[in-house]
Every structure is written in structure tokens, then in C-alpha cells.
């Protein structure tokens, strides 16, 4: 079997613990307004690679990746669930730490058997929660957040370690009320091991213009590191309040 891969990044340091081989999968059903990788949306283009070919890439930098492992990102890796499961299964056979960076949008109870097989060979899930409010999530991504939140509940049921990622965008998610709601929601899950709050920035504008695409967020200002730190504090405080 081959996977349809956009690109592979060596020595990644932000997509999971340690130094990692980061595999960008092709295809994504979401259309996030702040997406940095619109070139991964369509399945066309990219390269076909077998799991062995990807693991050969890993072997080249093996001594660096000892503290890290492999991360599947994209795009949305769950679009190629069967290949993703094969890649992670073969990685685990070699003792490699596996991390899935996902929006969780393709989760459904009907596909529980497929998700169970994947979860068995996945050490860590980095789950991107784009917006806690469903109506706002639809505006931001063109999809409901129902499957995303169900996936988080499913992962909690499996006691699978999860890192939550949340991007704060001025006038969209950078809002005390929404951040508090997110904290209240997350407080119920004990498998959440980290919370990464990232400031929105418009660096992808150039990529959109190269792709002849209109940049969806127009002149929305960038969020600052201070905005992200403050937002994280609000989420954490809200989680604590919920627990006391």
C-alpha cells in the first residue's frame, strides 16, 4: 500500500515531543480560514510512498530521533486511515514513538474498529480544537465540531495521551468567553497532558497568492505571543474552577 504524501520534514521540533520526522499527508476536508497549508487540501499532486520508504527516511536520522519519533500531520492524516495505521504499526514494530496531529474531524462511532486499530499503534494524539462554539466552528472551518469533541471523548475512554492545540485569532477565538468555555469543556478529561495555545499569524498570505487563492482572513491582525499566553491562562483558570 502507498500513502499520498505532500512532503516530509526532517528534524521537526514543534510537532510532538523531541526531534521528529514529520510526514505531511495529502488531503483535508476542512477549510480553516487560517490554514497554513492549503496546498495539502486536495489529494492530487504530492508523492506516493510506502510505509517502508518513510521509515527509511527515519532511519537516516535515527540517532537524532531517539528522543522523538514520527509525527503524521497534513492536511488531515485520517483521510488515509488505512495507510496511517500501517505506517504506525510498522513504526511501532521498530520501537518508534508515533504521534498523530489531527483535527479529529473524520471520527465517527461507526468507524470504531478502524479507530481502535489506529489508537493501538498511536502513542500520542495532538488534537486541534479550532473553536469550542459549534456555530463559530462552522464559520471557521465549514464543519461542525461534533466529531472533534466526540473524538476527544473516545480518546479519553481509551486513556490515550492527548495534547490539545488551539489557535487564537483576533475577533474569532481570542475571546474570553469562548476561552473560558473551552477550559470548562476540557476540565472533564484526565488524558489531556498538554495545552498548546498558538497565536494566529498571517505568514501564509504569500502562499495563498502563489496558489492564486484569496486569503480568507483578509486584514485580520496577527495575535501576539502575549495574547496566546493570556488566552492559555484563561483556559487553565477555567479548567481549575471547573475542578474545584
Nearest CA-CA partner of 85 in 51, 52, 41? 51
For residue 35, the minimal CB distance to ligand SF4 (Å) is 3
Q: Which three cell numbers stand for residue 174?
A: 481570542
Q: In the complex with ligand SF4, which residue's Cβ is closer, 95 or 218?
A: 218
Instruction: State the number of CA atoms in the 13 A half-sphere of 215 facing the CB.
Output: 17
Q: Smallest gap, in angstroms, from Cβ of residue 27 to ligand SF4?
A: 9
CB of 158 to ligand SF4, least distance (A): 22
Q: Which is nearer to ligand SF4, 73 or 238 (CB)?
A: 73
How far is the C-alpha of 105 from the C-alpha of 159, rounded, in Å? 20
The closest of 61, 124, 60, 117 to 98, measured between CA atoms, is 124
- Nearest approach in angstroms of CB 64 to ligand SF4 is 26
Closest contact distance (angstroms) between CB of 190 and ligand SF4 is 26
Rounded-to-integer distance, Cα 106 and Cα 141, Å: 13
The residues binding ligand SF4 (CB under 6 A) are: 28, 30-32, 35, 37, 40, 74-76, 103
R_g of the chain computed on alpha carbons: 18
Count of beta carbons in the 10 Å neighbourhood of residue 123: 18
CA distance 169 to 72: 25
Using DSSP bridges, classify how beta strands 124-128 and 162-168 pair: parallel, antiparallel or unpaired.
parallel
Task: Look at strands 124-128 and 98-102 and give their pairing.
Answer: parallel
Cα distances (Å, whole numbers) of residue 83 to 25, 47, 161: 10, 14, 22
Q: Cβ closer to ligand SF4: 97 or 131? A: 131
Closest to ligand SF4 by CB, 55 or 197: 197
Q: How far is the CB of 39 from ligand SF4 (least distance, A)?
A: 10
Amino acid at each position: 500500500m502507498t500513502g499520498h504524501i505532500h512532503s516530509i520534514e526532517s528534524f521537526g521540533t514543534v510537532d510532538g515531543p523531541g526531534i521528529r520526522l514529520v510526514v505531511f499527508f495529502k488531503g483535508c476536508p476542512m477549510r480553516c480560514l487560517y490554514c497554513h497549508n492549503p496546498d495539502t487540501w486536495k489529494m492530487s499532486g504530492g508523492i506516493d510512498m510506502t510505509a517502508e520508504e518513510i521509515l527509511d527516511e527515519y532511519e537516516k536520522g535515527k540517532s537524532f530521533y531517539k528522543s522523538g519519533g514520527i509525527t503524521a500531520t497534513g492536511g488531515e492524516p485520517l483521510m488515509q486511515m488505512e495507510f496511517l495505521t500501517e505506517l504506525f504499526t510498522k513504526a511501532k514494530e521498530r520501537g518508534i514513538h508515533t504521534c498523530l496531529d489531527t483535527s479529529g474531524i473524520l471520527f465517527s462511532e461507526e468507524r470504531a474498529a478502524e479507530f481502535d486499530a489506529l489508537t493501538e499503534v498511536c502513542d500520542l494524539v495532538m488534537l486541534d480544537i479550532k473553536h469550542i462554539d459549534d456555530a463559530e466552528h462552522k464559520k471557521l472551518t465549514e464543519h461542525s465540531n461534533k466529531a472533534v469533541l466526540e473524538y476527544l471523548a473516545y480518546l479519553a475512554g481509551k486513556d490515550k495521551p492527548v495534547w490539545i492545540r488551539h489557535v487564537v485569532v483576533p475577533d474569532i477565538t481570542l475571546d474570553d468567553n469562548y476561552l473560558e468555555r473551552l477550559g470548562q469543556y476540557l476540565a472533564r478529561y484526565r488524558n489531556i497532558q498538554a495545552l498548546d495555545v498558538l497565536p494566529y499569524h498571517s505568514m501564509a498570505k504569500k502562499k495563498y497568492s502563489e496558489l492564486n487563492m484569496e486569503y480568507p482572513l483578509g486584514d485580520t491582525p496577527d495575535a501576539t505571543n502575549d495574547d496566546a499566553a493570556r488566552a492559555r491562562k484563561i483556559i487553565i483558570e477555567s479548567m481549575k474552577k471547573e475542578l474545584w
